[in-house]
Chains A and B, each alone.
Chain A
Amino acid sequence: MNFFSHFGAYVMMIRDMFHKPENPKLYWKEFMHQCVEIGIRSLGIVCIISVFMGAVSALQTAYQISSPLVSKYIIAQIIRDTVILEFSPTLICVVLAGVVGSKIASELGNMRVSEQIDALEIMGINTKTYLILPKVAAAVFTIPMLVVLSMVLGVLGGRMTVSLAGIISTDTYDKGLIELFKPYNVFFGLTKSYTFAFLISSIPAYFGYNVKGGSLEIGRNSTTSVVVSCVVVLLADYILAALLL
């Protein structure tokens, strides 16, 4: 299959995903379950990455701004803006493409290969709606929250580092944070995270749902899905920046 037939099939899958649930209660339960799987289970990795991301960007920004002519609290602004605009939405989503994406792709792939999807289909259940929609919805619901958390932790990580490394005082850092703060940046970061959340859940779902063959294919498809998701996230990142900034 070439790129266009994959893309067409992907769009069709998204369309078929929206069907009336046979039993809303069960779909709700599945949605909640996926929120735990996708959101809560990624909490640890998101926290670790965010704190380090803030800390490292603090050290590197301080290193680059060595001129005595520039006021030091600029460091805070730079950390704030890079974290909110790029690091939190994009980096976190690329990492989650690996964590969440491979989980979705291999779960669905396994269900496909062991005929569990066929079994659901035979019962008269719309498998695209039942299996994919709750996952995508849970991702779109929880991942932006994780990104907001990551923004906060990133900025705090930077704050901790500047004071520990003796670059600037926390008071100067806080002053820099408030200065020239544009709420639009948060909006932009969130727009990105909603877009990425949709992509990194639906693309692996597409690959997992359409696995053909055996368990070898499950692994292969899950790797492909992560690679494709990452590339598409970066592409979307570029497009959104070009459109919205």
Chain B
Amino acid sequence: MIEFKNIVKRFEDKLVLDNVSHVMKSGMSNLIIGTSGSGKTVLQKCLVGLFEPDEGDIIYDGKSFTKMDDEERKLLRQQIGMLFQGSALFDSMTVQENVKFPLDMFTNDSNQQKLKRVNEVLERVNLIGANKKYPSEISGGMKKRVGIARAIVLNPKFLFCDEPNSGLDPQTSMLIDKLIYDITKENNITTIINTHDMNSVMEIGDNILYLKNGKKEWSGNSKDIIFSENKNLNEFIFASEFLQDAKQMRMMELKK
């Protein structure tokens, strides 16, 4: 569980996060949604400490992250997996070496055990046969999947995914969503996903935080969204006529 209270983040004089508070629950996929530029990435980076929030408190399982020193943060981070918006694969390493890197760094397993684990997670993200390729030789969607594989290889307790399915076709998108959802449930992970993909919101939105201009505008789950009266949220989620219709249908279904 990650709880954060009154997070404020400014860049120079630009206010990017304005007093955001929320609880990210374990064993759930917690979504942060909002338009481009609403502060999703900045919020995630504040939560893991890549940005220092100007104000506010972040609490991991009852321990204040804001008050931890560098060593304590380092230990906590060994339980965090993160997928970056741009994948951030190490481009001097092959796919296999990328995924194996955390194992090399933090475990004393034999090479054989490590390779077994690497192939296991690569299989989970549906990426077989690309082991020896370099990041520059694979597609954007494949990079995303390698990024996820690297993030989950050490069985993290907290998983952060910044737009795991942007730039992917709908089918692969759904596969990735389902994969993240399944491992969240299996290992009782606290998963935090940034997205503006409406499919994800509807399919895996256990706990949704809607940011607008750096403020918390709304929160709830994927059912609540259907019945929400919030105008901004409705305009954002059900932007097209097609989606409006889908909403009506879903509403009727749920009411039945």
Chains A and B bind each other: yes
By a CB distance below 8 angstroms, the chain A residues around B48 are 122
- Selected interface stretch from B60-68, B71-79, B202-210: B71-79
By a CB distance below 8 angstroms, the chain A residues around B88 are 114-116, 118-119
Q: Is the CB of B105 within 8 A of A118?
A: no
From A114, A121, A124, A125, B91 is in contact (CB under 8 Å) with A114
Q: Is the CB of B102 within 8 A of A121?
A: no
Q: Is the CB of B84 within 8 A of A123?
A: no
From B75, B84, B101, B105, A115 is in contact (CB under 8 Å) with B84
Q: Say yes or no for B104: interface residue by CB 8 A criterion.
A: yes
In the complex, the chain B residue whose C-beta lies closest to that of A118 is B50
Bound CA span A126–B84, Å: 19
Q: Is the CB of B86 within 8 A of A124?
A: no
Q: Is the CB of A118 within 8 A of B84?
A: yes
B12 to chain A minimum Cβ distance, whole angstroms, is 13
Bound CA span A111–B90, Å: 8
Q: Is the CB of B105 within 8 A of A22?
A: yes
Q: Is the CB of A124 within 8 A of B77?
A: yes
From B80, B86, B89, B104, A122 is in contact (CB under 8 Å) with B80
* Interface bin, chain B: 20 to 34
In the complex, the chain A residue whose C-beta lies closest to that of B84 is A115
By a CB distance below 8 angstroms, the chain A residues around B82 are 119, 122
Q: Is the CB of A119 within 8 A of B105?
A: no
Q: Is the CB of A123 within 8 A of B77?
A: yes
Encoded as 1 (CB less than 8 Å from any B CB) or 0, chain A from 120 to 141 comes to: 0111111000000000000000
Q: Say yes or no for A26: interface residue by CB 8 A criterion.
A: yes
Q: Say yes or no for A67: interface residue by CB 8 A criterion.
A: no
Q: Say yes or no for A5: interface residue by CB 8 A criterion.
A: no
Q: Say yes or no for B106: interface residue by CB 8 A criterion.
A: yes
B87 to chain A minimum Cβ distance, whole angstroms, is 8
Give the contacts of B91-141 with A (CB-CB under 8 A).
Answer: 91, 101-102, 104-106
Bound CA span A173–B75, Å: 64
In the complex, the chain B residue whose C-beta lies closest to that of A16 is B70
By a CB distance below 8 angstroms, the chain A residues around B45 are 118
Give the contacts of B19-76 with A (CB-CB under 8 A).
Answer: 45, 48, 50, 73-76
Residues of B at the A interface (CB closer than 8 Å) are 45, 48, 50, 73-78, 80, 82, 84, 86, 88-91, 101-102, 104-106
User: What are 15 A-to-B residue pairs whose CB atoms are below 8 Å?
Assistant: A23-B105, A111-B90, A114-B91, A115-B84, A115-B86, A118-B50, A118-B84, A119-B88, A122-B77, A122-B82, A123-B78, A123-B102, A123-B105, A124-B106, A126-B74
The 10 closest A-B pairs by CB, nearest first: A124-B77, A115-B88, A124-B78, A119-B88, A124-B74, A122-B82, A115-B84, A23-B105, A116-B88, A118-B50
